[in-house]
Amino acid sequence: MLFQTRYLVALLLYSLTIPLSAQQPKLHSHNDYLQSLPFWEAYSAGAASIEADVILLEDTLFVAHEAENIKRKHTLTSLYLDPILSAMQLEIGPLQPFILLVDIKTEAYTSMERLLEEIQPYKALWEDKENPFVKIVVSGNRPAKEDYYQYPFPVFFDFQSTEDTLNLPIEKIELFSLSFRKFSDWDGAGNLPKQDARKLKQAIRVAHGFGRPFRFWATPDTPTAWEALSEMGVDYINTDQPQAAGTYLKGHNARSSRPGS
């Protein structure tokens, strides 16, 4: 009986360590607000993560990278929260759960306070805590990791280090992200240098060791790069071309799911 118990525990622990790279890569729409149709284009392409930079100004979260580029009608609410709620309630599009990656460009704590206020009316989006339609994942300027637990569901965080991993609040970390340029200058043409691939894979392994998915930003945005990143085990393919990358990933995932592939 003791042997059987130990065997079952070992089997469970092994199943929990199966790398996330075995999963099919997903689409991350980088700086999505710069698309001709923010949210809708990425959502219709099946994006599993959609990114919006936000700036807190006059008690409102505006969607922009710099304050001088703010458009008064372009708020987190108007460009994202309202359309997301409409998509869910009207049953438009793929209706697959996804991440809204909120990249904060202003001071972390005051911006977070306002973010919690702005998402308050949208509880229907995460009413199902086991399978919420959208998770809010905070990137950019974030509170100290020791404070992550202060922010309730559906708020999680994008952790941007594979070195500062002591005492991680892992339950509040949705994914790991790092700049591709920290590891490689490859431009997405030809072959990725082997020494760069080794460094990139090591970063991915750290995230997977914590049971979390991984994304590189500042990646080359070509089909060759999408293929290399997919084969490497990246979980979210970072792109400024959601429709083209979405079409590629559907083909890639279909090919990789065939018997014998």
In the chain, what are the domain boundaries?
23-256
The pLDDT score that the predictor gives to residue 260 is: 57
Q: Are 234 and 25 in contact (CB under 8 A)?
A: yes
Phi, psi of 144 (to 5 degrees): -60, 145
The pLDDT score that the predictor gives to residue 258 is: 62
Among the listed residues 26, 3, 6, the one whose alpha carbon sits nearest the alpha carbon of residue 230: 26
Euclidean distance between CA atoms 174 and 26, whole angstroms = 14
CATH number of this structure's domain 23-256: 3.20.20.190
Euclidean distance between CA atoms 139 and 215, whole angstroms = 12
Q: What is the 3-state secondary structure (H, E, C) of 99-158?
A: EEEEEECCCHHHHHHHHHHHHHHHHHHHCCCCCCCEEEEEEECCCCHHHHHHCCCCEEEE
Euclidean distance between CA atoms 243 and 46, whole angstroms = 9
The pLDDT score that the predictor gives to residue 23 is: 73
Tokens representing residue 142 in the block: 């974030």
- pLDDT 10s digits, 128-185: 999 999 999 999 999 999 999 999 999 999 999 999 999 999 999 999 999 999 999 9
* Tokens 């979210």 belong to residue: 236
Tokens representing residue 228 in the block: 């290399």
pTM (predicted TM-score):
0.89
% of residues, the chain, pLDDT over 70: 90
Euclidean distance between CA atoms 235 and 214, whole angstroms = 5
Euclidean distance between CA atoms 243 and 235, whole angstroms = 18
* Tokens 């339950």 belong to residue: 171
The pLDDT score that the predictor gives to residue 252 is: 82
The pLDDT score that the predictor gives to residue 31 is: 97
Tokens representing residue 150 in the block: 């202060």
Q: Are 63 and 111 in contact (CB under 8 A)?
A: no
pLDDT by position in tens, the chain (length 261): 433 333 233 333 333 333 444 579 999 999 999 999 999 999 999 999 999 999 999 999 999 999 999 999 999 999 999 999 999 999 999 999 999 999 999 999 999 999 999 999 999 999 999 999 999 999 999 999 999 999 999 999 999 999 999 999 999 999 999 999 999 999 999 999 999 999 999 999 999 999 999 999 999 999 999 999 999 999 999 999 999 999 999 888 777 766 655
* Tokens 């309730």 belong to residue: 152
